Every structure is written in C-alpha cells, then in structure tokens.
Amino acid sequence: MSRAYNFSAGPGTLPESVLVELQAALLEFSTCRAGIMEISHRSQPFEDVLQSAKARMRRVLGVPDDYAILFLQGGASLQFYQVPLNLALPTDATDYIDTGTWASKAYAEAKTVSDAKVIWSSKATTYDRVPAPMDVKPREAAAFVHYTTNNTIYGTQCAAPPATDKRLFADMSSDIASRPIDVARHDVIYAGAQKNLGPSGVTAVLLSPWALARVAEVKAARGGLPSMLDYTVAAANDSMYNTPNTFGIFALERVLAWVEGQGGLPAVAQRISGRAARLYAALDASDFWKPHAQPDSRSSMNVTFRLKNGDLEGAFIKEAHAAGLMELKGHRSVGGMRASLYNALPDEAVDALIAFMGEFERRNG
C-alpha cells in the first residue's frame, strides 16, 4: 500500500479500518449473498443499517429523542435553499452570519425565498475571524439565525454558538462529530458527510420538533412544497421517499461506530484540539509562516496559512506531496496552504507535517 497522509478538505480521509470493512461489504454484506450496493433499500438488512446509523448519530452527537434525523442527498449546498424554503415565509426575517464562502452561499439562497439579511460579516478582513458570541445582534423579528460552525476554506471556527435567544440553524459540514455540541440549542443542523461522517452523497439533517411543525405551517402558506424538498415528506418516509444513498449511509454508520470506538466526542475533541494546537504552535514559532485565522477564531479542522515569501508556496506543496503529505494546497479561491485535520487523519500525519515544515524552513528560511 502507498497511502499518503491525506490533508484533503473533503472528501477527506476515512479511517483505514472502516475502508477495510467497506471493501468486504462491497462484495458480500452480512448474510445477503450480495454486496451492500446491490440490495434493496426496502430489505431488512438495509433497514437495520439505516436504524443503526440513526441510533449511532443520536448517541454520538447527543441528539434529543424528539429530533428527526434525516439522510438526504444534494449536499449541504441544497440545504442552503431547502432550509429557508421549508422554514421561512417570503416575509420572514432570516438572519445570516457571513463567515466565508459557504456562509454567503447559504445567505444568497435564503434571499430568494425569505427576507434574508447579513447581520455580521468578516468579509472586509478576508474572513479571518468569526464573531464573538456576544457580537451577534439579530433583528428583533428574526425567525432564526444561521451560522457556519467551521469555515472550511478560511480555517476559522466558532468556539461557541451565537449568544442570542433566537432560534439557531447551523451548517456543521466541516466540524460535525469533532467535538461535543449542544444539539438541543439548535433547531436545524445540517452537514454534508464527506469530511467527518463518510463519503460524499449523504447529507445529515437534524430537525427539532418545532422545526418539523413549522414546515407544516410554511408548506400550507406557500401552497405546498415539492415532495423531494419537503422535510415532512422525508421525515414521514424515514429518509426513504425515494432511493437513498444506501452505500453512503452504510459507510456513515461504520464511521460513527469507529467514533464510538474512539471513546466518543469528548475523546475525539481532546485528540483533535491537542494536535491542532501543536500545528499552530509550529506556525507561530517564526515569521517564516503566516497563519490566516485570528488566534481566537482558529479552526481545529482546517488550518490555513501562507508563507512570508509567497514564491516558495508552490515548492512547499510540491515537496510535501513528494514526502507523502498530500492535498496541502489552499482552496482555489484563496490560495496558500490548508491542512485539513479531520477525525480520521492519524496523529502521526500532523507530526510528520510539523517535521516537514521545520525541515523546509531550515532549507529555505
């Protein structure tokens, strides 16, 4: 095998033990005498997978019993539209926190179906920070406040939810399952699976009882919703109104089993924050490196940085790749470097990156 340390921002690295399980299940799953991708989504073996995936999600994330857990398709990008379509009327004030590309895309979609407004933005400082919880000032009439817990492209992360009594909706695509969260404080949480939960093609959506009841009201006022975009249809059919991504849900179930085996989110969070701190310490150690995020907004999932001498960045990425450290190039919209440290990345990968950085600096500093 020649698997490198994979710092990809997503789809990202998956636990090797899970990949081995998936490999076996592709050929023959359980006692089915066929592979996991080849059995009916209505069959008992798949039904068991779906229920287990939901149960693990509930346990791992601490999802209250009365919240719906949905596994949808269309990525987090579809949720940018589906969330306000289902949960706001055209006249409803919907407040958005603009902390980067994905947050502003969510706002752009909300504008088409509600009275959306950006109430806080770090665009002027190239999205190098997130708001302190107290800095978020929603409109009096705000139906909800939408925020992005972790900004994958810029490498910033909210340490805590906004301090407001308004309903909270969160895009948790790039840090879900990396630390304990207060699910009950949120009415809507969604996340594309392809960072910490599994392969792309599955989107996890958590809805509070209030949210599901609100969809029914909005649906009536809008004169109906397209079935495939209607949360109540997805919930009533247990995510199987149409054929779900059966392989993706199976993989997600296995990844969550792996997270449980790691000791759950408190243990994962401790490991993740320790190694991110080591990497930031290396970046702070000399002015050879230029970390992008403000110290109090730094992400433990995506570490973004530049070199003081920008001309060396291409060589850094190329040489790192040759040394077995892949996908360190920053997002195409911002350049520089980005090391994504998702749950499944081994700690040794971060140590290897820090060692490589030291050596690169000695040769070029």
Ligand X SMILES: Cc1ncc(COP(=O)(O)O)c(C=O)c1O
**Active-site annotation, residues:** 102, 171, 195
Select the span of 25-33, 129-137, 167-175, 307-315 touching ligand X (CB under 6 A): 167-175
Shortest distance in whole angstroms from residue 150 CB to ligand X:
6
Q: Which one of residues 174, 297, 299, 340 is an interface residue with ligand X (CB under 6 A)?
A: 174
Residue 100 or 291: the one with the smaller Cβ distance to ligand X is 100
Output DSSP code: residue 329.
Answer: B
Q: Which one of residues 10, 155, 248, 336 is an interface residue with ligand X (CB under 6 A)?
A: 10
Residue 148 or 246: the one with the smaller Cβ distance to ligand X is 148
Amino acid, single-letter form, for residue 188: V
Residue 326 near residue 5 (C-beta atoms within 8 A): yes
Output DSSP code: residue 36.
Answer: G
**Per CB under 6 A, which of residues 268..297 are in contact with ligand X?**
none
Residue 95 or 171: the one with the smaller Cβ distance to ligand X is 171
Asked if 192 is part of the footprint of ligand X (rule: CB under 6 A), the reply reads: yes
Select the span of 70-78, 109-117, 292-300, 318-326 touching ligand X (CB under 6 A): 70-78
Q: Which one of residues 173, 178, 208, 343 is an interface residue with ligand X (CB under 6 A)?
A: 173
Shortest distance in whole angstroms from residue 39 CB to ligand X:
26
Asked if 171 is part of the footprint of ligand X (rule: CB under 6 A), the reply reads: yes
Amino acid, single-letter form, for residue 107: Y
Shortest distance in whole angstroms from residue 81 CB to ligand X:
11
Counting Cα atoms < 13 Å in the Cβ hemisphere of 362 gives: 6
Residue 152 or 304: the one with the smaller Cβ distance to ligand X is 152
Shortest distance in whole angstroms from residue 174 CB to ligand X:
4
Shortest distance in whole angstroms from residue 16 CB to ligand X:
23
In this structure, the number of other CB atoms found within 10 A of the CB of residue 117 comes to 15
In this structure, the number of other CB atoms found within 10 A of the CB of residue 257 comes to 18
Asked if 201 is part of the footprint of ligand X (rule: CB under 6 A), the reply reads: no
How far apart, in whole angstroms, are the C-alpha atoms of residue 174 and residue 157? 10
Q: Which of 64, 15, 52, 61 is nearest to 264 (CA)?
A: 61
Place of tokens 């404080």: 185
Asked if 77 is part of the footprint of ligand X (rule: CB under 6 A), the reply reads: yes
Q: Are strands 156-157 and 150-151 parallel, antiparallel or unpaired?
A: antiparallel
How far apart, in whole angstroms, are the C-alpha atoms of residue 176 and residue 171? 9
Q: Which residues pair with 121 in a beta bridge?
A: 98
Asked if 76 is part of the footprint of ligand X (rule: CB under 6 A), the reply reads: yes
Q: Which of 194, 146, 199, 202 is nearest to 173 (CA)?
A: 194
Q: Which one of residues 94, 152, 196, 208 is an interface residue with ligand X (CB under 6 A)?
A: 152
Residue 150 or 246: the one with the smaller Cβ distance to ligand X is 150
Residue 33 near residue 20 (C-beta atoms within 8 A): no
Sheet arrangement for strand 203-207: 68-72, 203-207, 186-192, 168-171, 144-148, 93-98, 115-121
3-state class (DSSP) for residue 149:
coil
Asked if 248 is part of the footprint of ligand X (rule: CB under 6 A), the reply reads: no
Shortest distance in whole angstroms from residue 148 CB to ligand X:
5
Amino acid, single-letter form, for residue 243: T
Shortest distance in whole angstroms from residue 306 CB to ligand X:
20
Residue 61 near residue 177 (C-beta atoms within 8 A): yes
Per-residue mark of binding to ligand X, 78-107 (x: CB under 6 A): ------------------------x-----
Site of interaction with ligand X (CB under 6 A): 10, 75-77, 102, 148, 152, 171, 173-174, 192
